[in-house]
A and B are shown apart, each in its own frame.
Chain A
Amino acid sequence: MEIPYVVVIILFCLGMYTIITKKNLIKIVIGVTIVESSLILLLMLVGYIPGGTAPILDKGYELVVDPIPQALALTTIVIGGSVTAVMLAMVIKVHKRYRTLNIDEIRKLRG
């Protein structure tokens, strides 16, 4: 077990903790993005081999890292950006309707 995996777990759990415990909607969106970045780090780690260079074939480089997880990381980044944008739009809508971002107060206002 290497240290980077532990970093991934710590980041992931920080994000999950933020999502579970925080009351502010913006903070929940931030938690989701933290979870996303931990996933990107995990993808990088799965494809890594010791001593490998970036997957751009050039003269003199024999050992390159796995290109598939890097492509998947690009997918993750794009989808994460889109999802974050949609979540923020929803937060704007919620704030416009209830004038607050606290989940408990929103629940109270709905009765």
Chain B
Amino acid sequence: MSRLNERFKKLYKIGLVITFAVFLLFLFYDIHNLDSDSKRYLSEHYISEGLQETGATNLVASVLYDYRAFDTLGEATMILTAATILAFLVPITKATMFGTTFKSIVNQTVKLIIPYLAVLGAYLLLFGHISPGGGFVGGVVLSIIPILLTITYSVEFSEYIFKPDQKKLVEDIGAIGFVLLGLLGVLTGSNFFASGQAYFRTGNAGEVFSAGLIPYINLMIGLKVGAGLAIIFNSLIKEK
């Protein structure tokens, strides 16, 4: 009886998922058949005017850090909140990572990789507005360094190199600096997070110090994301 009941329950769940799939199929069919002109009205503006207005050749960066920097502020707040909740939920009692049974060849390779990772992260951060890349990607690449140190050596070693308080400080600098850069737009009589519209030096497109505030905002976001992810990883892995 109970086995029949269970089988019926499973069938019911499968049916639920299949119904949902059919619903999505119709929904996507409608999305696909949307009038393409009305769909791209806003993005046409970004594509045609974005370079003149913000000075950034990477349009995703111009959308993220100029037109819709408010969204990015929300994302940064998400990471800050996640790191805070983790520090609250997973109070560090013991730092017992597995006893690093890696062969020495792994350790030596990690030593060699880390400088390249640092250079790659810095490149992605600084050139985020003229090439594929940006604050989030650069921050993630930079956060790989403490994560690699944690995995190959130990939590203790990783936290001896990058102290938790320092990581928290870097994250806070990123968050506060981001908001302060946004306030610069208000000081010049424009709106919050305006950079291109507030006539900050948009410069020649393609140079490093161009595109108004976007490179600096990129840097702040990168610091924030890198430190935040490193904090999250270390607090998750510390629990025994």
* 5 A-B contact pairs sorted by A residue (CB < 8 Å): A57-B57, A66-B40, A67-B60, A78-B75, A82-B232
Q: Which residues of A contact B106 (CB under 8 A)?
A: none
Does A13 count as interface, using CB distance less than 8 angstroms?
yes
Of chain B, the residue at the smallest CB distance from A88 is B236
- Interface stretch, picked from B12-20, B155-163, B177-185, is B12-20
With A82-B78, A92-B89 known, 6 other A-B pairs at CB within 8 A are A8-B28, A12-B24, A16-B20, A17-B17, A56-B57, A92-B236
Q: Quick one: CB contact mask for B225-239 with A, threshold 8 Å, 1 for yes? A: 100010010011001
Write the nearest CB–CB distance from B17 to chain A, whole angstroms.
Answer: 5
- Asked whether A82 lies within 8 Å of B13 as measured between CB atoms, the reply is no
- Asked whether A1 lies within 8 Å of B13 as measured between CB atoms, the reply is no
Q: Which residues of B contact A70 (CB under 8 A)?
A: 60, 63
Write the nearest CB–CB distance from B88 to chain A, whole angstroms.
Answer: 9
**Contact A86 B40, CB 8 Å, known A67-B46, A75-B75, A79-B75:** no
Q: Which residues of A contact B79 (CB under 8 A)?
A: 78, 81-82
Of chain A, the residue at the smallest CB distance from B86 is A89
- Asked whether A13 lies within 8 Å of B17 as measured between CB atoms, the reply is yes
Does B144 count as interface, using CB distance less than 8 angstroms?
no
Q: Which residues of B contact A40 (CB under 8 A)?
A: none
Does A109 count as interface, using CB distance less than 8 angstroms?
no
Contact of B225 among A20, A57, A68, A78 (CB under 8 A): A78
Does B31 count as interface, using CB distance less than 8 angstroms?
yes
Q: Which residues of B contact A21 (CB under 8 A)?
A: 10, 13
- Asked whether A64 lies within 8 Å of B82 as measured between CB atoms, the reply is no
